[in-house]
Structure 1
């Protein structure tokens, strides 16, 4: 049950972040839920591989390269989910930051 609630909160966070940012478009809430599911799968499978492959760069940048990995995950989700559009790398980076902040606030509330 907790996974479904987490998906719903991530979908709401994605909708709010897309509403705030002009460089990100989501067609509707169903698309946001699909995006949340795709992001969960990508974060479970692809993100650990990318983190392992980029350990030296991550250490060299004191962990800031993880923001780049988050933006790459968002761009990959943009490619996979119809109805979700990000205008570029910078918007993906900003979207991941805004969505993380909104998700943290929603987690505190619920």
Structure 2
């Protein structure tokens, strides 16, 4: 349970950095700071579920592209997962939005780097 909470908070931190750095990724509906933090945590949960359920299937189906591009296709898969999270967040009436594919590529790259750094800094408790 602790590992799940740590990973969700790491996702939330990574999403917050992407929202802060990339102008095409937004999480603002004019509400209070507490509501935005709650929305960010809910979006992090959605993002975690997308990465847990959908991403392995997409990676398996696109395995030849990973081989052909020497792993650079990972950027495309991460962007697609971020766009799927944006779509699902819209369906759940959360104020998270990604403006397009190239914005999602940049956001996915930032999220990957920040998640890696946060997970490296936090202890891994099983």
Q: Secondary structure at the match of 1:85?
A: strand
What is the root-mean-square deviation in Å for CA atoms of aligned residues?
1.3
- Check whether the contact 1:24–1:95 (CA below 8 A) recurs between aligned residues: yes
- Unmatched tracts of structure 2, length 5 or more: 29-35
C-alpha displacement of 1:105? 2.3
Q: Secondary structure at the match of 2:109?
A: helix
Q: Secondary structure at the match of 1:39?
A: helix
- Check whether the contact 2:11–2:47 (CA below 8 A) recurs between aligned residues: no
C-alpha displacement of 1:109? 3.2
- Check whether the contact 1:15–1:29 (CA below 8 A) recurs between aligned residues: no
Corresponding residue number in structure 1 for 2:83 = 75
Tell me the TM-score normalised to structure 2 length: 0.80
- Unmatched tracts of structure 1, length 5 or more: none
Q: Secondary structure at the match of 1:103?
A: helix
Corresponding residue number in structure 1 for 2:40 = 32
Runs of 4 or more, structure 1, over 6 Å off, are none
Task: Name the CA distance, whole Å, in 2 between partners of 1:56 and 1:106.
Answer: 30
Corresponding residue number in structure 1 for 2:17 = 16
Task: Name the CA distance, whole Å, in 1 between partners of 2:10 and 2:69.
Answer: 31
- Check whether the contact 2:25–2:99 (CA below 8 A) recurs between aligned residues: yes
Corresponding residue number in structure 1 for 2:97 = 85
